[in-house]
Structure 1
Amino acid sequence: MAIALVPTLAVSAALVAGIGAGAVPVSLAISPTTATLSGQSFQVAADSLEGTGFTQYLAVDSSAHGDFPGAVSAINSAELHNLCQSVVSSLPGIGEVTMLIKAGGGSKPVHADQLIVDTDALEGDATFHNIQIGTDAAQLPGDGRAKGPSGAFAQQADSVRIDHLRQTTRSISAATFQLNDLHLTVKKGAQPCFRAAP
């Protein structure tokens, strides 16, 4: 991602300070591409997710450590309240380190357009409107990764709401991902968004 350099250091410092304090929303425009995944899982949690244009199908993700089965979920437009994202990694000489991202607290939720998530575990209280289960993945609306291979099991709905979202995933992409009130920290030790059930 290219970042336009600001001519004056004072303006740049003020912008970074504003982002860190949550005063400046961060909007990332991402061009979805096909890439080999790291294979490392990370967590996503939110008080609630509300989305329109939901599709989901079974797929296989290729990673540096082999292939993994999972479910690809695509949402045309989504809002997440009180988002938490965490990844725990092991670094040489340091041990376990957690990168933790929090955003979308209060009255300004995180917003995503053309959100695509590869997941292998999801928990929460879900409500779907006008859902169709057992659809051929190749007949799903949309294009690119919003569709699956012909004959693959899929489901679709006009809208979805998931309360108390707890998700383990290997990949997230979006055309636009707006992180209001963004806070990012990197700390020693394992400090995930939630403790996964055994």
Structure 2
Amino acid sequence: MSHSLGRTRWKRFAVIMVPGMAVATTLGIGIAKGALAASFFVSGQRFQLSVDSLVGHGMSAYSTIDVTRNGVRIPVEVTGLRYALIRGLCESVVTEVPFLGPYTLRLTGADRVRRAEARDIFIDATSITARQQNSHGLNIGVAAGALTKGPVNPGDRHSRFFDPNGVAQQASTVFLADARWQAVAVTAVTLDVPDIRVRLRAGHHECF
């Protein structure tokens, strides 16, 4: 019985980690697939995403609900950016491995000369913090269905959980310093990350 359970958990570990490695490799050379903006089931596992600094053009923020394959609903706050320049990018996820304990998959990049570039990026998060935020052309209280300065994920716009009359905010430009997201999903039409590094280590080695 225990041997079978161990095999099952190892398969689960591989499902989480191996695609993560593939995604990391893809991010290193940049991606441009409009299909990324489509709706999908989330795994439900939280991961950490942080940036030392972010300069964004065309920002939106609105609430919706992500859904797992098992039908679990996760309320999220979506940060959308038409274009962003990012310094000091970090993403991490921790998985429990049977008999070995926790392992952390951590991806870092854009912490040297070149900055990461993203187009039409959406971060679905359960919590957001930042040491500082500066906004230009800010509108708070705009209806989510009337956002014009920042984007709405097409997958969200056509979701039954998207309220076009819900409270949202937008800005022409935004600057974030030491921003941190506890996220369940990130999608982007294009994300180009220079100097990327991926490391799998025993223990907890999260971004923050």
TM-score normalised by structure 1 residue count: 0.81
Deviation at 1:145, TM superposition (A): 4.6
Choose from 107, 111, 121 the match for 1:105: 111
Choose from 44, 49, 68 the match for 2:49: 44
Deviation at 1:132, TM superposition (A): 0.5
Match in the other structure for 1:11: none
The amino acid of 1:28's aligned partner reads I
- Quote the RMSD (CA, aligned, Å): 1.8
Mapped partners of 1:172, 1:119: distance in 2: 9
Contact 2:39 2:156 in 1 (8 A): no
Give the 5 Å matches for 1:30-109: 30=33, 31-32=35-36, 33-64=38-69, 66-109=72-115
Match in the other structure for 1:122: 128
Structure 1: runs of 5 or more not aligned: 1-18
Choose from 26, 31, 41 the match for 1:28: 31
For residue 162 of structure 1, give the secondary structure of its aligned residue in structure 2: strand
Match in the other structure for 2:167: 153
**Cα 1:78–1:46 shift into 2, 3 Å:** same
The amino acid of 1:82's aligned partner reads G
Deviation at 1:28, TM superposition (A): 2.1
More strand by share: 1
Higher mean Cα deviation, 63-72 or 185-194?
63-72
Match in the other structure for 2:147: 140
For residue 35 of structure 1, give the secondary structure of its aligned residue in structure 2: coil
Contact 1:140 1:146 in 2 (8 A): no
- Structure 2 residue 183 is the aligned partner of structure 1 residue 178: no
Structure 2: runs of 5 or more not aligned: 1-23
Mapped partners of 2:133, 2:104: distance in 1: 29
Mapped partners of 1:186, 1:97: distance in 2: 7
In the TM superposition, what whole-angstrom CA distance separates every residue of 1:113-136 from its partner, at most 9, and x where no partner exists? 100110111111111111100111
The amino acid of 2:120's aligned partner reads Q
Deviation at 1:95, TM superposition (A): 2.1
Paired residue total: 172
In the TM superposition, what whole-angstrom CA distance separates every residue of 1:83-124 from its partner, at most 9, and x where no partner exists? 111111112333211000000012201111100110111111
Higher mean Cα deviation, 174-183 or 62-71?
62-71
The amino acid of 1:136's aligned partner reads A
- Structure 2 residue 181 is the aligned partner of structure 1 residue 167: yes
Contact 2:51 2:179 in 1 (8 A): yes
Mapped partners of 1:146, 1:54: distance in 2: 16
Contact 1:116 1:146 in 2 (8 A): no
Contact 2:64 2:156 in 1 (8 A): no
